[in-house]
Structure 1
Amino acid sequence: LCSAAELEQPGESDGILELSDDLAVGTPAAGVFGAEPVIDFEVTPNRPDWLGVSGIARDLAAAGLGTLKTPAIEPVAGTFASPITVRLDAPEMCPVFAGRTIRGVKNGPSPEWLKRRLEAIGLRSINRLVDVTNLITYDRARPLHVYDIAKLVGSEIVVRAGQKVAQPFVNDVGEEAGALHHDERLIALNSVTYPLKADMCVIADAGGERPIGLGGVMGGESTGCSDETTDVFVECAWFDPILIAQTGRSLSINSDAQYRFARGVDTASLVPGIELATRLILDLCGGEPSEIVVTGQAPAAPTAFAFDRARVGALTGLSLTDDRIADILTALGFAVERGPSWSVTPPTWRRDAEGPADLVEEVARIEGFDQLPTTPLPDQGAPSKG
């Protein structure tokens, strides 16, 4: 007994769906509704790379379930300097911010293939520009945002902390008697107004005076894209995970962007994310791209550490060859330097792997926990009675 919404189907969801009487019990719902089968994954907080299809596919391929096919992202050459620049006034909140102008786009309803992909995972198609960012969010675990340049005030985007706004106070006789200070506010894309506090990351225009977005959480209604949008600025930034997690809790926002940034987005995905979005936008909307603007510096990549492959057997009881251990780690994206002493470097999307024990866990997970040997505890004899 389900409604259309519970089955992630479009249309009215006021009551229980009525199905044909001739359907046999056990018939897959995907076949009945002509939908794609959907696999729902429960993702642990330490694996933000699983918040994109590519991350799931990488692990499945490493476990022997298919072959990983992730086409290389080809750069798109810019033909002019971006008229929109970026200034970071709060690098501790947002250490790096990349963007690109694309002018002359034609926005509108997305093609059917894109609508179907989004609807299959419970998302509503909005328009081509927004749908491209949602697709990349779920495909590559890389949130992006698109601004309508015609709605920006000025040519500079400023990333800063929230601040107080002074409002003149008028007394009973109509005279100004000082000022009241309150948190500035943002009308977000969900049409809800949020207070912006000093411990929140704010995206602003008008020389940094007007809030137009809540960094890493949600964009503002004032610069959102519509069917009339012709020139856009595509944002691809990296925000501090703890800050974004705290902002989400404070404002009770759990957007797709906030959910990913709070767990840690790949620090090496900024330019690739821009390039992938550019290609999709050009294919769907046309337009002419500028050069990419990158302001700030991404956090340093994980460093290598020594790994004794004998620890795999010592901690798990598995008997694996050096080649098998190296193949598993390499398939997961780790760089392995073999020799008398191994050196392993985690990829930028696996900051949870901090030492040898983490690598042992990865090897055991991919080899299969069902392969762990079962050894009974030694018989200690009957307990003494005394």
Structure 2
Amino acid sequence: MLISFDWLKQLIHIDKDAEEVGALLTGAGLEVEGIETFDMVQGGLEGIVLGEVLTCEPHPDADRLRITTVDIGNGTPSQIVCGAPNVAAGQRVVVATINSTLYPTGGEAFKIKKSKIRGAVSEGMICAEDEIGIGQSHAGIMVLDTDLPNGTPAAEFFGLGSDKVFEIGLTPNRADAASHYGVARDLQALTDAKAVLPSVKDFKVSSTSRPVAVEVENAEACPRYAGVTVSGITVGPSPEWMQKRLRAIGLSPINNVVDVTNYVLHELGQPLHAFDADKIKGDKIVVKTVDEGTTFKTLDGVERKLQATDLMICDTEGPMAIGGVFGGEESGVSDETTSIFIESAYFSPDWVRRTGMTHSLKTDASFRFERGTDPNMVLHALKRAALLMQEVAGGEVSSEIVDVYPTPIENKIITLSIERAHTLIGQHVGAERIKKILTDLGVEVTGETGEYIQFSVPPFKVDVTREADVVEEILRIYGFNNIEMSEDLATTYLAKFPKPYAENVTEAISNYIADNDFHEIITNSITNSNYYQPAGEAEVAGLVRVVNYNSEDLDVLRKSMVFSGLEVLRRNINRRQRDLKLFELGKVYEQLEDGSTRESRKLALYMAGNVTAESWQQQSNKSSFHDLAGVVQNVLRKLNAGDFEVQPLQPNSYMRQGIAYLKNGIVIAELGPLDAGVSRFMEVKEQVWYAELNWDYLLKKYKDNLVAEELPKFPEVRRDLSLVLDKNVTFDQIRHIAFRTERKLLQDVNVFDVYEGDKIAPGKKAYAISFTLLDKQQTLTDKVIDSTMNRLMQQFEKQLGALIRK
């Protein structure tokens, strides 16, 4: 993208040179890849000045030559031999001085040297307009009417000075900066200057003699369409100032009407199109799609077959333009045009992008529409174009503005945590600085508390949709170079704050699981719907379908983490990697009965094969339920899940047995063996142990409440009990009864042996359980210990029917 510095300075008054501005823009994410000098005429009229002919005498040896003396402002008149028939004393002329280079119209460049012409010394050249490249005339030298002093550069007199042009490597997300005003808006935030939109206060409707009606049949593809008619225009060349600015950014002037639409496009970022109003059949615009295969000839003379998804701008008889992409040949402006209808619209980026790709058409308009333009700029750009059209082509506004905008596009409301912003940035910026940056970028502050600021983000900020995007906007203006480096150059770039955040917690838990020999996997959240078919219609009904899938094997979003993990297990086992411990943090998706979609994050763990490798020191052991349960329980402890309830797993499509951990009635984790049928369906023959944690809930409830305290001064005491219980009694029940019975002294309960066999009654099992007691204030006495253990035994007998083996 090319940006003219002179043009930019018309929108924002800054006292910095081009190099300084380029550095500012690059630092803010608009990378300036180069700064080139643009001359309106080749060479920029360098070395060519205004002069005054003091004397003019015939050349003694040539009838057609004159010997003149010319004041060029350097204190010493120059003698110049001139062959122009109209040269005379007293004239103000254009003089090419010695060592300057001329670039004549249609000729080869040549350098001016001090020379002798027919024996007379000549110290320069008095020029005609074609000789300096600003016109075609060679009838005689230019005679000027000016009060400018002698020696004034000719470029200043003609207004043809050089310009600096920025070449900006615009990234796809920065649609808001795809114009001179968009760049000026960034500079407004980077400096103390104020960016000013071109005024449209002089816009007025002179008559309503040429109304054009507008009907939008496809509001999805065209949410907003506006237009106005200008009549009595004369098509011709644009004025020099407009041509200069267009040429500076690489555009060739065409005529005043087309040039105005291009000018406003690059000034404000709003694409426009001008139709010959006399060619609009029925004086009506209809925005719609047409039948597949309809032929349409575009402005480049190419006949194209339209798709059913191409949005067309039509009149009552047929298509006139491809919406947001390219105009049609038959409705275009010609030299005979006297009335035009100016279109200014907001087209859906998806529709424009699809059409552009289908027809291999890339235009300045489609470049902006497919990235996202500003729906709120539509009317301002339309009025700006109408005013410019009257200025350069004459005429008057001959209709009211028609504006079809049935469902206005609302601003995005985003709440920013000030502390969160400082964390992501890496240092303290301050709430006032944050508000100033975002306000300068066009974002409105709509609410504020001590910890949060609420912003209303306008639609032109297409890439700002969430809190992190707002922080990015702050950071790029605040300056990456202003972020201090850590003294130890650690890779932990997030600033340290007392309150934990999801990233830190996730990293800590992932590191813990990896330290236990689990390998992290990252799998595709798009999967195969056939995996869910054996589970029945209810399971299939909840799948979220992918609309435009490219492969039948990838047609739904996963509803469970099970199958993506089994795919990894299958691939590794088939390659003789059978001892596997894997984990993944990912999202699952579900279609609800009301048609909405729910997504949630899960932590999944998988174990298969041996848990220990075979060696001469020990036998290999198969992975078991308890191996996985130990890891899950430690993860819950590290997340400070506190007391949680353990219950038998409710059988589901993937696990028929196992256990579930509940907190406040909500399942926070499930684990057990994967159903053998599910594993075989995925061609995994090994026993697979699986655990799934409700990661969203655990993160939401996580509190970093670690408290340091002194080591106890008094010794712990351990007592053991052997309990004979019914088989259906779980250790978790024993543990909860113990802690409810003794809250002060009891520190830990642990089972160290379980027996089932012919030594006890059928349907029974024996638990060997240890109890750790501690009083932090004094040494425990036998009396207190015995009293505590008696109360525990009484509760076990009463609530569980336990037989205490003594």
Identify if the C-alpha distance between structure 1 residues 358 and 145 changes in structure 2 by more than 3 Å, giving closer, same or farther. same
Q: Read off the aligned partner of 1:187 and give its amino acid letter.
A: K
Superposed counterparts of 1:336-347, under 5 Å: 336-340=445-449, 341-347=452-458
Q: Is residue 213 of structure 2 the alignment partner of residue 85 of structure 1? A: yes
Shift of 1:72: 3.7
- Contact kept, 8 Å, 1:200 with 1:243, in 2: the verdict is yes
Shift of 1:187: 1.4
**What's the secondary structure of 1:222's corresponding residue?**
coil
**What's the secondary structure of 2:163's corresponding residue?**
coil
**What's the secondary structure of 2:206's corresponding residue?**
coil
Shift of 1:195: 1.5
Distance in 2, matches of 1:65 and 1:128, equals 36
Shift of 1:297: 2.6
**1:291 paired residue number:** 400
Alignment RMSD: 2.6
Q: Is residue 387 of structure 2 the alignment partner of residue 276 of structure 1? A: no
Shift of 1:226: 1.8
**What's the secondary structure of 1:342's corresponding residue?**
strand
Superposed counterparts of 1:232-243, under 5 Å: 232-243=340-351
Shift of 1:348: 2.5
Q: Read off the aligned partner of 2:404 and give its amino acid letter.
A: T
Identify if the C-alpha distance between structure 1 residues 75 and 367 changes in structure 2 by more than 3 Å, giving closer, same or farther. same
Distance in 1, matches of 2:491 and 2:186, equals 36
Identify if the C-alpha distance between structure 1 residues 97 and 337 changes in structure 2 by more than 3 Å, giving closer, same or farther. closer
**2:187 paired residue number:** 60
**1:184 paired residue number:** 294
Q: Read off the aligned partner of 2:308 and give its amino acid letter.
A: A
**2:436 paired residue number:** 327
Q: Which has the bigger relative contact order, CA under 8 A and spacing at least 6?
A: 1
Deviations 1:329-376 (A, max 9, x none): 100000013531321011221132112111111111001101112112
Larger radius of gyration between Structure 1 and Structure 2: 2
Deviations 1:12-43 (A, max 9, x none): xxxxx987789xxxxxxxxxx96422101111
Number of equivalences:
341
**1:129 paired residue number:** 257
- Contact kept, 8 Å, 2:199 with 2:384, in 1: the verdict is no
**2:794 paired residue number:** none
Hey, which of these two has a bigger chunk of strand by percent?
Answer: 2
Q: Read off the aligned partner of 2:214 and give its amino acid letter.
A: V
Q: Is residue 203 of structure 2 the alignment partner of residue 41 of structure 1? A: no
**1:353 paired residue number:** 464
- Contact kept, 8 Å, 2:324 with 2:352, in 1: the verdict is yes
**What's the secondary structure of 1:221's corresponding residue?**
coil
**1:363 paired residue number:** 474
**2:233 paired residue number:** 105
Distance in 2, matches of 1:47 and 1:217, equals 20
- Contact kept, 8 Å, 1:8 with 1:119, in 2: the verdict is no
Distance in 2, matches of 1:105 and 1:19, equals 39
User: Of 216, 219, 227, which residue of structure 1 is paired with 2:335?
Assistant: 227
Tell which deviates more after alignment, 308-317 or 266-275: 308-317
**What's the secondary structure of 1:159's corresponding residue?**
strand
Shift of 1:378: 8.1
User: Of 201, 204, 211, which residue of structure 1 is paired with 2:311?
Assistant: 201
Shift of 1:212: 1.0
Distance in 2, matches of 1:268 and 1:260, equals 15
**What's the secondary structure of 2:371's corresponding residue?**
coil
Q: Is residue 371 of structure 2 the alignment partner of residue 263 of structure 1? A: yes
Superposed counterparts of 1:310-325, under 5 Å: 310-325=419-434
Q: Read off the aligned partner of 2:302 and give its amino acid letter.
A: V
Distance in 2, matches of 1:9 and 1:41, equals 21
- Contact kept, 8 Å, 2:342 with 2:382, in 1: the verdict is yes
**1:139 paired residue number:** 267
User: Of 417, 420, 443, which residue of structure 2 is paired with 1:308?
Assistant: 417
Distance in 1, matches of 2:212 and 2:475, equals 49
Distance in 2, matches of 1:141 and 1:248, equals 19
Superposed counterparts of 1:12-23, under 5 Å: none
- Contact kept, 8 Å, 1:75 with 1:275, in 2: the verdict is no
Distance in 2, matches of 1:50 and 1:19, equals 39
Distance in 2, matches of 1:36 and 1:8, equals 6
**2:352 paired residue number:** 244
- Give me the identity figure in percent: 35
Shift of 1:61: 2.1
Q: Read off the aligned partner of 1:54 and give its amino acid letter.
A: Y
Distance in 2, matches of 1:79 and 1:116, equals 30
Q: Read off the aligned partner of 2:265 and give its amino acid letter.
A: T
Structure 1: where are the runs of 5+ without partners? Answer: 1-6, 12-16, 23-32, 165-182, 380-386
Structure 2: where are the runs of 5+ without partners? Answer: 1-37, 43-106, 113-159, 493-806
Give the structure-2-normalised TM-score.
0.40
Deviations 1:232-284 (A, max 9, x none): 11111111101101111111111011111001110111111111111111111
